[in-house]
């Protein structure tokens, strides 16, 4: 093996070792997301980072549950209300169906309570308590 090929092989090995190290650091330093489910398990709410800001996303878990109305994200006692029908996700790169209110929220803070409230198609007020959840750990997840 020549000196040049050893350098190339060494560079590749170092690069491959950095991927799991960087992802481990990212996992342990990232903010957790908030997750909650409705009582009847028809809906799931996630409060997640979109890169620039945080957003509450409401996912239907069953078909034909209708479009939610009057979305409200509650941080401690502060209510962020989005009257009318929830906006449906129309991002071309994200194939999941969910509803959201236009939020410019901050990352979740420790020791605060978070809730999500909305009115379902049958007119029932749904209140979902959100709990901290770390994203799933994967050593090889690159992005």
Q: What is the 3-state secondary structure (H, E, C) of 12-79?
A: HHHHHHHHHHHHHHHHHHCCCEEEEECCCCCEEEEEEECCCCEEEEEEECCCCCCCCEEEEEEECCEE
pLDDT by residue (tens digit) across 14-30? 988 888 787 777 777 76
Mean pLDDT of the chain: 81
d(CA 118, CA 122): 11
pLDDT by residue (tens digit) across 116-131? 999 887 788 889 999 9
Query: 125 in helix, strand or coil?
Result: strand
Provide the pLDDT for residue 113.
92
pLDDT of 143 > 60? The answer is: no
Res. 140 pLDDT band, cuts 50 70 90? low
Provide the pLDDT for residue 104.
64
Q: Starting at the edge strand that comes first in sequence, how are the strands of the sheet with 69-75 ordered?
A: 78-85, 69-75, 114-119, 125-133, 33-37, 43-49, 54-60, 99-100, 87-88
Q: Is 87 exposed, middle or buried (0-12, 13-18, 19+ CB in 10 A)?
A: middle
Give the mean pLDDT of 91-114. 74
pLDDT by residue (tens digit) across 28-82? 776 678 999 998 888 999 888 877 788 888 888 888 788 888 888 999 988 888 8
The dihedral sign for the CA sequence 19, 24, 29, 33: positive
How many CB atoms sit inside 10 A of residue 98's CB? 20
State percent of the chain over pLDDT 90: 14
């Amino acid at each position: 093996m020549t000196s040049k090929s050893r350098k190339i092989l060494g560079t590749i090995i170092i690069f491959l070792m950095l991927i799991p190290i960087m992802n481990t650091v990212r996992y342990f330093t990232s903010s957790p997301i908030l997750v909650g489910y409705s009582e009847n398990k028809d809906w799931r709410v996630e409060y997640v980072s979109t890169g620039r800001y945080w957003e509450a996303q409401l996912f239907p878990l069953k078909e034909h549950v209708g479009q939610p109305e009057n979305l409200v994200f509650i941080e401690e006692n502060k209510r962020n209300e989005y009257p009318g029908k929830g906006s449906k996700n129309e991002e071309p790169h994200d194939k999941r169906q969910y509803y959201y209110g236009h939020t410019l929220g901050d990352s979740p803070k420790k020791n605060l309570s978070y809730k999500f409230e909305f009115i379902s198609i049958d007119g029932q007020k749904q209140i979902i308590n959100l709990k901290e959840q770390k994203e799933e750990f994967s050593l090889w997840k690159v992005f």
